[in-house]
Amino acid sequence: MKFTILLTLATFYLTLYIFSPISASAQDVNGLLLTVNSGGDAHDADPGDRLCADAGGQCTLRAAIDETNANSTRDAVIFSLPQPATIELTLGELLINQNLDILGPGARRLTVQRSTVAGTPNFRIFRVPQTQAFVFIRGMTIRNGNDITGGALFVQEGGFVGLYDSAIIANRATSGGAITVFGRLVIHRCLIAGNTADNQGGAIINATSTSDTLITNTTITGNSASIAGAIDNIGSLLLVNNTITANAASSNISSILSNPLGTIKVLNTIIGRDIGQPGLAISGTFQSAGNNIVTHSTGSTGFTNAVNGDQVSQSNAIDPMLGPLANNGGQTDTFAPLPGSTAIKGGNVCARTGQCPLLPGIIVQGGRLDQRRNRRSRIAEKIDVGSLDTDSFSGSSIGSLGVFGAGQGMASRYAGSHAYIIHPTTLETRHTLVRLDGSITFTNLPGADAYVIEIRAKRSGMTSPLVISFDF
């Protein structure tokens, strides 16, 4: 199979995330490709010199972020560490105030956590402040953060975070045990489990009327709070092909609270069962986009049994028949529907194609892959409800990739330059040259995954790498 990316940009640096459709963002300055080679926690010795090095000459994750914060570029971070690796943070949260892509090798291979050593002060793991930054984090486990808002991640107003193929586990906060969103957040193919909020939003709080969050192909389980054990929503929230089950609340609403100021649209998603919980499972107004399984709808509006393909009950009368949370393949644990489950082939295929009748004006992104990064069948008329698709399959190769940059100066600056494509999990690197028209082609790439392309220009003064990261 061959993929071609056609870009018409007036700039030379670009970062791509390929879903459906293609999206791209760009900046004027070439980015840095920074390789973390130390699991320690130390600052960069000279932020702004375009080198990642602490006082001992090692590149820590904190030093890499220090360096990118000091440059007005969009940079990329990859990791060269023995696997599995754990980065133990001791110096406080990782504040990211510039555009950055962090590409970890996988949630089972890399953990970034607040140190478990006694006496370590409380702090969250990542924060994106009010800087209009676009930050993408993928392929890691984020663990043991502890703060007032968002134990693992706090996205402030104006910030955007894309969180992919990651596990967010055992974090704690007063509100938003794992994640607090004031800006925009996209979550694809993640596990959010075992997080705690003292007040509301055990996993996530979409905290303001302008907060905007999309969650697809994600498992949210084992989270707890006083109110809204899984999600407290005040903003705009779209849920597609998620499994939200076995969350808890000590006071009320074990799963999702839809506040009057917010909107929640739900497609192909399992909500429940939260067995043994007092009070309600969900509360407020929901907009069904169809084909959901809601096991305890009392206290909510928007879900009606047998309307728009929804399966709805009260008091957990419906059982989605899920197996245990387990390693069913991929980099994060999932719940697999058991034989006979109505989740199997109970979903609307529109999530895979991107066009859903009950979501007018919205292009559904990320629906072609389930949580394990397996491809949902293109033949089946139905897909499964939830984050794992029993009929999906893993692809051994994406074939060839063509990148063509038609923007100002692309060909003149980079023609004849060396281009390297790097797999962030294996660090396997392949080499080619940029053609006279600015195009690049790589063939027989191993597996559907994220990659980084680094272009080292031959022209004097253009030795900084141009970094392209993408995802199929």
Verify that 370 and 324 share a domain, yes or no: yes
The pLDDT tens digits along the chain (472 residues) read: 444 333 322 222 233 332 222 222 333 346 889 999 999 999 999 999 989 999 999 999 999 999 999 988 889 999 999 999 999 999 999 999 999 999 999 999 999 999 999 999 999 999 999 888 999 999 999 999 999 999 999 999 999 999 999 999 999 999 999 999 999 999 999 999 999 999 999 999 999 999 999 999 999 999 999 999 999 999 999 999 999 999 999 999 999 999 999 999 999 999 999 999 989 999 999 999 999 999 999 999 999 999 999 999 999 999 999 999 999 999 999 999 999 999 999 999 999 888 999 999 999 988 889 999 998 887 778 899 999 999 998 865 556 666 655 444 556 677 788 888 888 888 988 888 888 877 888 877 776 567 888 887 665 444 455 555 555 4
List the CATH number of the domain containing 434.
Answer: 2.60.40
**Nearest 5 degrees, angle CA 231-CA 285-CA 357?**
100
Helix (H) and strand (E) counts in the chain: 3, 47
Q: Which two tokens stand for residue 426?
A: 């294996």
Per the structure, the count of domains in the chain is 2
CA distance 348 to 158: 33
Among the candidates 353, 383, 413, a domain finishes at 383
CA distance 40 to 87: 6
The answer to whether 290 touches 267, Cβ cutoff 8 Å, is: yes
Verify that 222 and 269 share a domain, yes or no: yes
CA distance 446 to 422: 11
For residue 230, what are the domain limits? 145-383
Residue owning tokens 């993640």: 190
Q: Which two tokens stand for residue 244?
A: 């939200």
Verify that 274 and 252 share a domain, yes or no: yes
The answer to whether 231 touches 201, Cβ cutoff 8 Å, is: yes
Verify that 338 and 421 share a domain, yes or no: no
> Domain for residue 109, yes or no?
no
> pTM of the entire structure?
0.92
Closest CA to 245 of 266, 205, 218: 218
Among the candidates 383, 418, 435, a domain finishes at 383
> Domain for residue 8, yes or no?
no
Residue 306: which residues within 8 A CB-CB, separation 6 or more?
none
Pairing of strands 191-193, 85-89: unpaired
CA distance 142 to 110: 9
